[in-house]
Amino acid sequence: MVGGPSLAGLCPLTTLRTPRLELRRWQASDADGFAAMNSDPEVMRWLPSALTRKESDQLMTQIDDGFASRGFGVWAAERRDDGAFLGFVGLNVPRWELPFWACVEVAWRLSRAAWGFGYATEGAREALRFGFEDVGLERIRSWTVPENRRSLAVMDRLGMTRLGEFDHPALPDGHALRRHVHMVLERTDWQAAR
């Protein structure tokens, strides 16, 4: 592959399907769309910074390494009817020492053109099912800055409840995005709502 991250050691795919999405392992052909999404200031508005091409490629490699070692991660979200790469939805184990370390979060990032169709919620529901049923997790968390209305709306639609707020350890004191809302979904609550 020229100019993209190495995807050497690709494990057998764990592909999840929803009515409109395929959540699949990453392919070299995702690198351009991923970089375009990660450089879009609107998509990255509530994240610390937009990513350069190199940073985006490194993140893609890091995500794929997580699949290889863990068997799950944030999947590449592909629209089933036309094969378009939409972004990612899935489960992530944060690398930072959070107050509630170790944990699994449900996470999403879609290209701007894919907002407003329900794709994030649809994909995240399947990621939660995978996390609770197939991985056997007891709880799945999520967090974002209080201003990220769209992301918080996804968490609400998923039935997550608010635990409180915390300061993100990856960001320095005084950083405008340091404060985060902390949401959780317990396995028992997820089962009860099915």
Ligand X SMILES: CC(C)(COP(=O)(O)OP(=O)(O)OC[C@H]1O[C@@H](n2cnc3c(N)ncnc32)[C@H](O)[C@@H]1OP(=O)(O)O)[C@@H](O)C(=O)NCCC(=O)NCCS
Q: Which residues bind ligand X (CB under 6 A)?
A: 43, 46, 108-110, 115-121, 144, 148, 150-151, 154
Which is closer to ligand X, CB of 5 or CB of 148?
Answer: 148
Nearer to ligand X, 11 or 163 (CB): 163
Residues 111/89, Cβ–Cβ less than 8 Å: no
As given in the structure block, the two tokens for residue 112 are 């701007």
Is there a contact between 132 and 96 (Cβ–Cβ < 8 Å)? no
Residue number of the CB closest to ligand X reads 118
Nearest-approach distance from CB 20 to ligand X, in angstroms = 8
Residue written as tokens 């020492």?
A: 97
Q: Nearest approach, Cβ of 16 to ligand X (angstroms)?
A: 16
Of 184, 137, 182, residue with least CA distance to 158: 184
Q: Which is nearer to ligand X, 5 or 92 (CB)?
A: 92
The residue among 115 and 166 lying less far from ligand X, judged by its C-beta, is 115
- Find the shortest distance in angstroms from Cβ 194 to ligand X: 18
- The three-class DSSP label of residue 167 is strand
Token reading at 84: 């378009």
Beta pairing partners, 164: 182
Q: Closest distance between ligand X and the C-beta of residue 154, in Å?
A: 5
